[in-house]
Amino acid sequence: MNSHTDFEEMRARLIRNLVSQGVLRDEKVIKAMTAVPREEFVPRSQREQAYIDTPLQIGYGQTISAPHMIAIMCQELDLKPGQKVLEIGTGSGYHAAVTAETISIERGSSGNQVFSLEIVKKLISFAEDNLRRTGYGDRVKVMEADGSQGYLEEAPFDRIYATAAPPSVPQPLIDQLKPKGILIIPVGEIGFSQELLKIMKKSPTEITAARLGGVAFVPMRGRYGFRS
């Protein structure tokens, strides 16, 4: 394929497949994944693979999650317009852009509604450049920080999700959720199977957890992650 590759057609086909498989159901998430060009968030050499439903390498040993995983996480988070969301693990910025698009009050609305933390400095400029080029620079604020500790400066959040797996759920993430908030996070030891968890804070003292199934994410580093 060459520069005439019809990415829009490939994107529409992937989304139709995810809908017919029953993975994509929420109208807001369908619209968001139709709007965000995944090919703009992967290294140039990987553009032709952007609409295969698989994780892709983005450098520094990190990956952009598979589209079906992003669909599942956005839907389980029950994202609603205007929410304040924290992402741990910016990577390419793609997942943050889909989240920002899902919670946009209207297309083109501005304001930093998604705060995204990344621990690998060199990925921050990659993500910021991708987000700016695709029009999400105003809606996603990327920061260099250890996300295992959350982000106290902007807490509390309506929703928090992690795209890297710590050994257990970091307490600061639960603490930084608003009442009725939801946290989606993969948890598990390196090299073993991980589980995607959905933590719901019904009230400051009533926390429930549901298992959403087995997953494979990169390890979360940092204080409540794997120290190295």
When asked if residue 220 is in the footprint of ligand SAH (CB under 6 A), the reply is: yes
CA distance linking residue 6 with residue 29, whole number of Å: 22
Site for ligand SAH in 160-199 (CB under 6 A): 163-164
The single residue among 65, 99, 102, 134 that binds ligand SAH, judged by CB under 6 A, is 65
Residue among 65, 92, 104, 148 flagged as catalytic: 65
CA distance linking residue 167 with residue 161, whole number of Å: 15
CA distance linking residue 63 with residue 199, whole number of Å: 24
Q: How far is CA 62 from the centre of its chain?
A: 13
Closer residue to ligand SAH, CB minimum distance, 185 or 202:
185
DSSP string, 175-186: HTEEEEEEEEEE
Least separation, in Å, of the C-beta of 62 and ligand SAH? Answer: 4
Contact flags string 90-119 toward ligand SAH, x per CB under 6 A: -xx-xx---------------------xxx
65 in active site:
yes
Strand partners, 203: 206
**Coarse DSSP helix, strand, coil percentages of the chain, rounded to the nearest 5 percent:** 35, 30, 40
When asked if residue 63 is in the footprint of ligand SAH (CB under 6 A), the reply is: yes
Instruction: Provide the annotated active-site residues.
Output: 65
Contact residues toward ligand SAH (CB under 6 A) are 62-65, 88-89, 91-92, 94-95, 117-120, 123, 146-148, 163-164, 218, 220-222, 225
